[in-house]
Amino acid sequence: MKLKSLLKTTAIATALTSLALTAGCSGNAGEAGGDSGKLKVVAATTQIQDFVKQIAGDRVELTGLLKPGGSAHSFDPSPADLQALAVADVLIVNGAGLDDFLDSAVEAAGFNGEKVIAADGVDLDRAAELTAAGSTPDAAMSDGDGDSASDHSDHDHGDSAGDSARVNPHVWTSPEFAAAMVTEIAEGLSKADPDNAAEYSENAEEYTAKLTVLDDWIKTEMAKADPEVRKFVSTHNALLYYLEAYEIEYVGSVIPSFEDNAEPSAGEINRLVTAIKAAGLKAIFVESSVSPKLSTTVANEAGAKVVTDPIYADSLGADGEAASYIGATVSNTRVMLEAWGVTVDPLPTELAEVLDAAAN
């Protein structure tokens, strides 16, 4: 058994033991936290958690598994997580191979509700085409023997069949794809809770309209940046669909993988440094959920600087502007443009209201 799988199995076993003890003291897992009478929803990533809030508000009892500031590629369940899964009516995951690591926890908890896969709303054939085109820089940074960091990493979803093997799973990073995910989630909630279906549908339509405004605003602001400086290097290859949507050249990533827990080889780092110098990049971006140490090393070798304001890719922020999907995407856009010397215009009223509401 691989080390990562062994550690995960151990973590789940420990959590199950704690859950059993808790249930023994309080009656059973379903009664431990009381029953609000609302639809019980468990959502995997922080982005999906925000989508559920926008669609359902206080109509559902929401439990989030992954936490702000954390990786979207690993999960050690707590007893509370397993308890929430055990009694959940609906489980909403990203899909496209991102959160296959949840399968063992879901099975261990005995989840028996409806599963909604948000990425099923996305055109995954198109996503696969964009992945193939956008993966070229990473492929070019493989070792001479053909090995790359993604080959050496012990990751889960790379072994999955179907879409997960051909699609970069960070589909939410494109507002267009995010809107498709929101629609899919609303349909899943409506199926599980038909009494509130009309409200879920109306809220989803209102929110996707705001995502269209967000998309238009980013396109307008990005057009101000000279294409010669509109080039991107970050921690790992997470913003593929965002970069494609706004015509930003992807030069490479410090970790040449869809995942953030792989380790690049010395050869890969050297090739990235060469690519950064050739592209004339002066700024390297770092992600909120990954240590900037390796990025700093690469920047120093390439004669570039690390932008201290983080990019929110795998996770939303814990509070402030970046605690919502729209806020995090606005923040990412501002950070990039300001690093490229562009003055960003004020937000449209619809987006400013979203950020104000989140702050209050």
**DSSP 8-state assignment for residue 284:** E
Q: Both 174 and 27 in a single domain?
A: yes
Model pLDDT, residue 356: 86
**pLDDT above 60: residue 19:** no
Helix H, strand E, coil C: the string for 105-124 is: HHHHHCCCCEEEEHHHHCCH
Burial of residue 6 (CB within 10 Å: 0-12, 13-18, 19+) is: exposed
Asked which of 189-203, 262-276, 332-346 is least confident by mean pLDDT, the reply is 262-276
- Summarize the confidence of residues 146-152 as an average pLDDT: 39
Same domain flag for 49 and 180: yes
Question: How far apart (Å, rounded) are the C-alpha atoms in residues 265 and 274?
Answer: 14
Residue that has been written with the tokens 């507002």 in this structure: 175
What is the rounded average pLDDT of the residues 276-288?
94
- CATH for 280: 3.40.50.1980
Higher pLDDT, 254 or 20: 254
User: pLDDT-derived band of residue 260, with 50, 70 and 90 as boundaries?
Assistant: low
Helix (H, G, I), strand (E, B) or coil at 278: helix
Residue 239, classed as helix, strand or coil, is coil
Domains in the chain, number: 2
Q: What's the pLDDT score for residue 164? A: 53
Picking from 152, 182, 211, the residue at the C-terminal end of a domain is 211
Q: Is 217 within a domain?
A: no
- Residue 101: predicted pLDDT: 85
Instruction: Determine the pLDDT at residue 156.
Output: 39
Q: Are residues 187 and 278 in the same domain?
A: no
Residue 108: per-residue pLDDT: 94
Averaged pLDDT, 190-210? 98
Contacts of 289 (CB under 8 A, 6+ apart): 69, 70, 71, 72, 260, 313, 314, 315
Burial category of 130 from C-beta neighbours within 10 Å (exposed 0-12, middle 13-18, buried 19 and up): buried
Report whether 52 contacts 62 (CB < 8 A). yes
Which pair of tokens denotes residue 225? 């940046």
Same domain? For 262 and 294 the reply is: yes
What percent of the chain shows pLDDT beyond 70? Answer: 80
Residues 99 and 28 in one domain: yes
Q: How many CA atoms lie within 13 A of 286 on its CB side?
A: 20
pLDDT in tens, 98-128: 999 899 999 999 999 999 999 999 999 999 9
Please state, in angstroms and rounded to a whole number, the distance separating the CA atoms of residues 103 and 117. Answer: 13
* Cβ proximity of 311 and 234 under 8 Å: yes
- Residue 194: give the domain boundaries: 3-123+170-211
The DSSP element (H or E) to which 62 belongs, if any, is: strand 60-64
Q: How far apart are CA 304 and CA 283, in angstroms?
A: 5
Residue 148 or 255, more confident: 255
Does 204 share its domain with 341?
no
Cα-flanking dihedrals φ and ψ of residue 148, to 5°? -135, 175
Domain annotation covers residue 150: no
What does the pLDDT average to over 25-45?
Answer: 70
Q: What is the mean pLDDT of the chain?
A: 85
**Could you tell me the two tokens for 157?**
């979803």
Q: What is the mean pLDDT of residues 136-162?
A: 39
Please indicate, yes or no, if residue 134 is contained in any of the structural domains: no
Whether residue 248 has pLDDT greater than 50: yes
**Mean pLDDT score, 9-20:** 48
Considering 211, 239, 267, which residue would you say is the last residue of a domain?
211
Long-range contacts for 205-211 (Cβ within 8 Å, ≥24 apart)? 207/51, 207/54, 207/55, 207/182, 208/179, 208/182, 208/183, 209/350, 210/326, 210/350, 210/351, 210/354, 211/175, 211/176, 211/178, 211/179, 211/182, 211/326
Band the pLDDT of 39: cuts 50, 70, 90.
very high
Q: Phi and psi of 283, rounded to 5°? A: -140, 135
On whether the CB atoms of residues 109 and 85 are closer than 8 A, the answer is yes
Choose the final residue of a domain: 155, 187, 211: 211
Which region among 16-20, 178-182, 246-250 has the lowest average model confidence (pLDDT)?
16-20
- Average pLDDT (180-200) is 99
pLDDT given at position 257: 63
160 pLDDT more than 60 = no
Dihedral, 116, 121, 125, 128 alpha carbons, nearest 10: -70
Question: Confidence class of residue 58 from pLDDT cuts 50, 70 and 90?
Answer: very high
Residues 74, 196: one domain?
yes
**Is the confidence at residue 28, as pLDDT, over 70?**
no
